[in-house]
Amino acid sequence: MIKLDELVEEHGVVGAQVAVLHNGEIVDMAAGVLNNVTGEKVTTDSIFQIGSITKIWTATLVQELVNEGLLDLDRPVRDVLPEFKLADEQAARIITPRQLLTHTAGFEGDLFHDTGNGDDMLEKYVERMADARQQVPPGELYTYCNSGFTLLGRIVEVLRGKPFRVVLRERLIERLGLRTAAASHAEYAAQTCATGHPGKEPKPADKLMAEGDTPAGTVLAMSARDLLEFVRMHLGTSEFDAMRELQVVPPDFGHGGKQGLGWALHDYADGVSGMGHTGSTLGFRAYLRVVPGAGLAIAVLTNGGEALPLVRAVYEQVLGDLADITLPGLPTPPMMPVPVDVERVVGVYRSTGLEAHITEGDGGRVTLRYVALDPDWKSFVDEDEHEFTGLRDDALIAVEEEDGYHAVVVLCGRDEQDRVKWLHWGRAAVRV
């Protein structure tokens, strides 16, 4: 039995829900508070933002279009959205929905444009993508791209002839009979809603993220139980099996993981495979793991504090007890660090909204500091300096653990001076 109250207390998590689907039955629980100022308790009916787990919902709506013959994943996006533009016209002309679903389109991925909350918010968002820079040629490298999923949302609404959130509600929320799911900020008022608590010393967030990025994950909120009702649908039909097929192998961050159509794919020992996703918004962290062969799924929703150690404790217990699966370990700094080729690594790398500054450190280490390029990014970027050492010839690992994890960055490509071209932590930042 999961002792969620104890885990919340032990790891300093503000509030949490856990739901487990096993052999068709869902069991859920809750602990902690919705807001650490008001002290209102979390219940199993409270709603939490699920962040980028929303991408699986968007991908599901896209797969329905494919199944109905309304969309070809390998034709250019412009077949559906002739107005789609990027700073690189050649890239915009050839990018496909499959590349959007697999994070291989290569353009700036974290364009959190505030385009209001009207029915035209995605149309306006796509218009504002016209200046988005191409960081990697289309199809060349996995680099996480929120903007690509917002573009997919626009494809959904054009082909369905309705606003995305209406399609989301009609085809998934209402179809599944979900009681708690909210597809817009306005719908939060009808629910008991958790507040996000960002920061190392969690305090209630004073704002919500822009609705214009809804298909990527800035809005959709629900209970852990309702999230697993959505998963139950995926496990109960072959309609969406194509979404689980391997598409891309991302850079190796030391914890496995491959990419399907929307789903992240996981491998366990003895040939067991599964899928899942994580989500992060302002003060919320959401986690989902599914093992179809065991008829098992686990959802953990949190609203502040060090969530990852709690989540791993839940995963380890549930996967072990119900499926005899051992959760793979996370990477740690090696006893004998791989030498860092400092001359090739040091420099400034730019991604959407931030820069990564790498300087030479002591004892063969380097120092990494992220710098927000926009005031709106201050809430998301830890600008403290962190020491990194060599994990592999092509990867660095943080010396100190944070939120239960030693961060890994991968060194990709070479420029004309034989220096590292891209610094990769899920997003590819290009040397400037």
CB atoms near residue 315 (< 10 Å): 17
Helical packing angle, 146-160 and 121-128, nearest 10°: 130
Catalytic residue among 46, 52, 147, 280: 52
Task: Count how many Cα atoms sit within 13 Å of the Cα of residue 59 in the half-sphere of its side chain.
Answer: 30
What single-letter amino acid sits at 114?
Answer: D
Burial class of residue 131 (count of CB atoms within 10 Å of its CB; 0-12, 13-18, 19+)? exposed
Question: How far is it, in rounded angstroms, from Cα 23 to Cα 386?
Answer: 44
Structure tokens of 332?
């740690």
238 counts as catalytic: no
Angle at CA 309, nearest 5°, toward 306 and 313? 140
H or E, element range at 343: helix 342-345
Question: How far is it, in rounded angstroms, from Cα 429 to Cα 108?
Answer: 10
Question: How far is it, in rounded angstroms, from Cα 405 to Cα 392?
Answer: 17
Place of tokens 């609404």: 157
What single-letter amino acid sits at 253?
Answer: F
Question: How far is it, in rounded angstroms, from Cα 188 to Cα 48?
Answer: 10
Structure-derived torsion over alpha carbons of residues 154, 156, 160, 166, reported in degrees to the nearest 10: -80
Nearest to 409 by CA among 385, 390, 431, 432: 390
Question: How far is it, in rounded angstroms, from Cα 395 to Cα 230?
Answer: 36
The helix/strand/coil state of 287 is: strand
What Å distances lie between residue 407 and 146, 257, 270, 299, 312, CA to CA?
21, 15, 27, 23, 16
The helix/strand/coil state of 5 is: helix
Angle at CA 273, nearest 5°, toward 272 and 274? 135
Please list the active-site residues. Answer: 52
